[in-house]
Structure 1
Amino acid sequence: MTAAGRRTTARTRTLAVGALAAALITGLAGCSDSGKPTSSQGAPGAKEHPAAAPQNAVRLIGDGSTAFTGAQPNQPVWKKLKPGEQPPQFVVFSWDGAGEDSQKLFSHFRKVGQKYDATMTYFLSGVYLLPEEKRRLYDPPQHNAGSSEIGFNDTEGIRDTVRELRGAWQEGNEVGTHFNGHFCGPERGVGNWSVEDWKSEIRQAKSFVKNWKTNAGLTAEQALPFDYDKELVGARTPCLEGRENFVKAASELGFRYDTSGVNDQIWPEKDHGLWDLSMHLVPVPGRAFQTLAMDYNFMVNQSGTKTQGDPSMHEYWGDQMRDGLVQAFNRSYHGNRAPVIIGNHFESWNGGTYMRAIEETIATVCVQKDVKCVSFRQLADWLDAQDPAVIAKMRTLKVGEAPKGGWETFLASRPLTSSSPALKQAERP
């Protein structure tokens, strides 16, 4: 079996363990060159995208695996909302364990993003840049050196993944982290990790990105065009476990957001100084409950842990996910305008029906008026550019609730004071 096949098999096996019961009930268990301008160009509150750095600005870092190349191209520069101005409708599409394997889904969704003017967040698993023969360089917390539930990679897989990461960043997308070994479950999972364990895992994730040339013997390849110490500002934990201690560690290490929790569709707040950009609960059309806005959770509610269930149901299941995501989008778009947070995996579960569902969702929502399909980092930039009192006021709107009297009236009133309970809640440490 190829390294790509090992990765897919191991990752699927990990996802299946321990998540079925909770996901069947509520779907709360989580998982397991040059581009076109982003959708923010010409939008209210955004300026022209800065040009890419000139070639003479390139400065190699370390062994040349990464490099400083100047400001990332194709980034919006946000402005503060004016009094009475309606906020944009943000949508974030993100990918856990992003890597390019034989399915070529990374490269495919880069093209989708370009077609529909959408930037995304790719959460890289660090071990996808570590070759199998160097596996013992990974010393995971509470596990033996060289352990990983999703395997490692081979030279060609690393070369392909780096190519996609390079292009994705140059197009304006974000490279976050899904950490390394993807350990889940009550006994051996990341839910048992301490703050120091998380710091070790983060350091190692950075190290594999900063030393892939040396580790894989690919010294002639082009560098990744970013300084990962500065680029890495957010993450999603494996299986959405261990968030409490991860957020503490991430806060100390200068991260800006986390997306490892489960929220309703309301405006976000900060937790330990990080924006809590957790995924949302969304409708499951035809069912009496909601589930997490993620391909894995729809799958478990449809075919259980069978990643290739009844072929006659594949089309229906994909339509059900797409329609649920679009319904979630519409209740924000026509309601409180809370950002819509969606997570996915580069997998062909149930005949690839969830990949079709995501692509059709992107094609439906990202082209609509005032909609900005952005990365988590870009969303955090916009949130940081706003008056905290305005964010606090928007947080008072419930799921799907449009402001009475319209946005012009709702956000035209005098901002909340620093003593306001709502503002204090929005800025809790």
Structure 2
Amino acid sequence: MRQPSGRRRRAPATRPPANPRPRIAAYLVVASLALASLTAGYLTLGRPDRTAPTASVGPGDTLNAPGQASGEPKWDGRTRVLGDGSTSYTGPQQGRLKAVPLKPGEKPPQFVVFSWDGALAGDDELFTHYREMSAKYDAHMTFFLTGIYLLPKNKANLYKPPQHAAGSAAISYATDDHIRTTLDELGKAWQEGNEIGTHFNGHFCGKKGGGDWSVAEWKSEIDQFFSFVQKWKTNTGYTDLAPLPFDIRKEVTGGRAPCLEGQANLLKAAKSYGWRYDASSAGDFQIWPEKKNGIWDFPLQMVPYEGGKYQGLSMDFNFLYNQSKGETDGPAADHARWQRETVDAYKAGFDRVYYGSRAPLFIGNHFEEWNGGIYMKAVDEVMAAVCVQEDVKCVSFKELADWLDVQTPATLERLRGLDPAQSPDWSTVVK
């Protein structure tokens, strides 16, 4: 594997002041100490009320243009307000990656996907910050929205979570002000080419969480997510705000389950909605994606940690767990070292595939200022370093699914047979 030599890394972008320390309601995560024994989980986040928290096609086949649903008439250029005015159809999303099949012998692009769980716009202004980073580095991202973040706390009983009492949730409901800021950020993010996915609703984990839910219960959770987005005006009374510029049922084509639990039944449920991918796998090697139950599986990935001593999952909380044992406010004296460890692990994972198999790199995050915001600063540094490199495309999960869907099945099969660090003769892979 050819190694880079002394690539200059840009300084992290300036950041807004940190919010008050958030609480963690529950968590379940262990990054494996060896590839042979991967144990991976996730966390349940809670925010105090004062804070914001298709089958592949062959060369002769065609794929609908991104944003244009099959059988949908050509857009006439007019906005169509939907339902109670909470959402609208403003035409196909602009700026999406144009997916084209690889030419014989062509090296694949290096895809990198940055995704955000919860997607609540709070006082920390992190949603705004990463929209700005997206524009600066031409890096479309995926924002996984939690549905109850658009539901006022005084309407909490409208949420009927599977196996739990009405209105209950493992996370805090958003403040009224943060509902408004989240709506604003969601609309702007979509108009700038980013993707809106789902993080579902109540963030239940463990017993009676997603891992215990039936297919019917997952469908209930999904339908309620759509309802909270489609009826936010009715539920909030905010008639002064413009509708979201997208039809949420057409926009959402995938999600990430809280705590990465329940994927088997979730996939069965998701298929009935025509979803194209799922990002709920607990973790996997850095290999080219494959489908589960006809849906692209986009897992968190194992990246070299502490100089390759072991592999850690590519998500901010997993670094937090390993570095400060889940404590969100560890010793300040350790912050600089922990930030460097995080950056080095992400960059080692990037370099392994960029100079090797070109398998996509997935990095998952939360809008949180844990340990002085070091995980946010690490993402800033990584984004600035990798998204500007030759052949690198920082894309959303939806854009990656678009690209995978236009490659030939034979090419994808050969790509999946590569080891992460393996740099092949591309003429033998892409034919």
TM-score (normalised: structure 2): 0.85
Q: Distance in 1 between matches of 2:428 and 2:412?
A: 15
* Paired residues for 1:155-174 under 5 Å: 155-174=176-195
Which residue among 106, 110, 125 is the counterpart of 1:104? 125
Tell me the equivalent position of 1:208.
228
Do 1:179 and 1:201's aligned partners in 2 also have CA atoms closer than 8 Å? yes
After TM superposition, give the deviation of residue 55 of structure 1 in Å.
Answer: 9.7
Which residue among 96, 102, 114 is the counterpart of 1:75? 96
Do 1:27 and 1:292's aligned partners in 2 also have CA atoms closer than 8 Å? no
Q: Does 1:223 align with 2:243?
A: yes
**Equivalent position SS for 1:279:** coil
Tell me the equivalent position of 2:135.
114
Q: Does 1:196 align with 2:216?
A: yes
Q: Distance in 2 between matches of 1:123 and 1:409?
A: 37
**Equivalent position SS for 2:115:** strand
Tell me the equivalent position of 2:393.
372
* Paired residues for 1:15-414 under 5 Å: 15=27, 18-19=28-29, 22-23=30-31, 25=33, 28-32=40-44, 57-185=78-206, 187-261=207-281, 262-286=283-307, 288-403=309-424, 406-412=425-431
Do 2:137 and 2:387's aligned partners in 1 also have CA atoms closer than 8 Å? yes
- Unpaired segments of 5 or more residues in structure 1? 33-47, 413-429
Deviations 1:110-169 (Å, cap 9, x if unpaired)? 101111110000000001100100000000000000001112122211110011000000
Q: Distance in 2 between matches of 1:64 and 1:401?
A: 51
Aligned residue identity for 2:92? A
**Equivalent position SS for 1:335:** coil
Q: Distance in 2 between matches of 1:128 and 1:347?
A: 16
Q: Distance in 2 between matches of 1:255 and 1:200?
A: 16
Give the number of the structure whose residues are more often helix, by fraction: 1
Q: Distance in 1 between matches of 2:379 and 2:83?
A: 38
Q: Distance in 2 between matches of 1:272 and 1:120?
A: 25
Change (3 A) 1:143 1:334: same
After TM superposition, give the deviation of residue 24 of structure 1 in Å.
Answer: 7.1
Tell me the equivalent position of 1:38.
none
Tell me the equivalent position of 1:13.
25
Q: Distance in 2 between matches of 1:9 and 1:346?
A: 11
TM-score (normalised: structure 1): 0.86
Deviations 1:265-312 (Å, cap 9, x if unpaired)? 111111111001111111112462111100000100000121111110
Deviations 1:179-216 (Å, cap 9, x if unpaired)? 0000112x232111111110000000111111111111
Q: Which runs of 4+ in 1 moved over 4 A?
A: 24-27, 53-56
Aligned residue identity for 1:226? F
Higher RCO, 1 vs 2 (CA within 8 Å, ≥6 residues apart) = 2
Do 2:131 and 2:189's aligned partners in 1 also have CA atoms closer than 8 Å? yes
- Of all paired residues, the percent bearing the same amino acid is 50
Q: Distance in 1 between matches of 2:32 and 2:405?
A: 37
**Equivalent position SS for 2:226:** helix
Do 1:73 and 1:172's aligned partners in 2 also have CA atoms closer than 8 Å? yes
- Unpaired segments of 5 or more residues in structure 2? 1-18, 45-64, 68-73
